[in-house]
Chain A
């Protein structure tokens, strides 16, 4: 699991990263790295078979039974 790493970018560095992120192949690598740096590996590493294999959340709430 990657450790969360602080990202602080502005100006030229930000623009360069954006251009890389928008590039067809390189962009996927940028996305993967950014999500990992934000600590999202932990989310994707959850094995949902161990948690009852939940379905995707539907519209956030169902109405009350009346």
Chain B
């Protein structure tokens, strides 16, 4: 378990006990966010932070709590939003320099649900351009930095959200995940990240990258934060095609981890392993050992075709991204980052046959992965095959295509996107330089409650992480 950071529940308790108010916390966090961006290597978690708007929301929340009428445990909790989602009154850049600066007329559905829960929308966070990358390095726009080492990438594409949570500016933030973009930065930044089942959280009002891969999810200081966020936001939305037929979510409430002796865990040597950085391999094996010593049944499992998941993900993402960007490319091709342009150029040239072939292999992957959960509660892998890479001057200046980084960051995460099954990343130790390593659990579709409870059991026995070097106690 990781060294405790303040969670949403901690803030809620402080508010109820009258020790603090949302106004105090908002003011302290605004000051901390300003401080974070001073210096030679600013944290750059935010694209936009309207301090007056935050103060207004905080004042309203303070009044509700004083009147004994908080809307939920999230009332008064600061929640940054990845700048891929509309927040009424503010533009949405999706990490680009060229999207119109027109202010959104309506909140995205998820933002609306957060407001209904009383959460304070705390700015818009930086991201990898259009979501098409796993580092967060965005030369033409804003590149967030890793609070564990400001010379390193926070991961992407929900980079700013991860930086905000890991540095203590908020206990939970919104991200999105089409190939690992919640889980990768969670792993790199030593925090927790949930990609729920596809269709569980409505996506309308988001500038998504790849329609069949994209999921919305939280990055949090704890599993409890993920659970609170999920309970406030999950569920069908009548205007959202992808969520409209989803089964009703089972509320998670307080986490209730099972006994480890009752947990059946599968893992597969077919996925990654070879090629992973040594600290990741060691951390993963240490985690398996700790689980076995604690009584969990940890079984090696062969899963036919599972090694194709990342390849299916690459083809699907490139092709769908080229489709979502088609009209933008016509008018703004030269304004994208060079690395994004390369990936989009490849995507534009993937044929219908190649795309459909990948979707047929996707059926095989999903079919075989489903069988794992007939005999097991969770499937476990590292979250990424590497720790956070350094931000080189060259990459920051003009972008970089690095196939080793691309392969290692998403070698485990694409499985959750191509199948749509829920997955959560938890911290499981650090390397010799103090850089966090992530452990990921998957569960059967629609089983987010079981997944997070199982993750809580696992979290209790695996190695935690220290707080980030750049950390603000607000």
Contact = CB atoms under 8 A, between A and B. Distances in A.
Contacts of B358: 43
A36 to B, nearest CB: 12
Interface of A: 4-11, 14-15, 17-18, 21-22, 27-28, 30-31, 34-35, 37-40, 42-44, 46, 48, 51, 54-57, 59-61, 63-64, 66
B398 interface: yes
Contact of B345 (A11, A15, A27): A27
B419 interface: yes
Contacts of B314: 38, 40
A52 B424 CA distance: 32
A60 B198 contact: yes
Contact of A21 (B346, B361, B363, B404): B346
12 contacts: A4-B407, A7-B402, A8-B404, A9-B402, A30-B346, A38-B403, A42-B311, A43-B312, A43-B357, A46-B357, A56-B359, A56-B363
A7 B346 CA distance: 15
A46 B154 CA distance: 36
Given A6-B403, A21-B346, A31-B349, A43 B338 contact: no
Contacts of A10: 392, 394-395, 398-401
Contacts of A18: 338, 341-342, 345
Contacts, number: 134
Contact of A15 (B212, B338, B357, B363): B338
B383 interface: no
B246 interface: yes
Contact of B341 (A8, A22, A54): A22
A56 B341 contact: no
B245 interface: yes
Which 4 residue pairs spanning A and B have beta carbons closest together? A60-B420, A56-B359, A21-B345, A54-B363
Contacts of B392: 10
Given A43-B311, A48-B361, A55-B360, 9 more contacts: A18-B341, A34-B342, A35-B346, A43-B308, A54-B360, A56-B360, A57-B362, A60-B199, A64-B446
* Most B Cβ at <10 Å: residue of A8, A28, A43: A43
Contacts of B366: 57, 60
Contacts of A22: 333, 341, 345
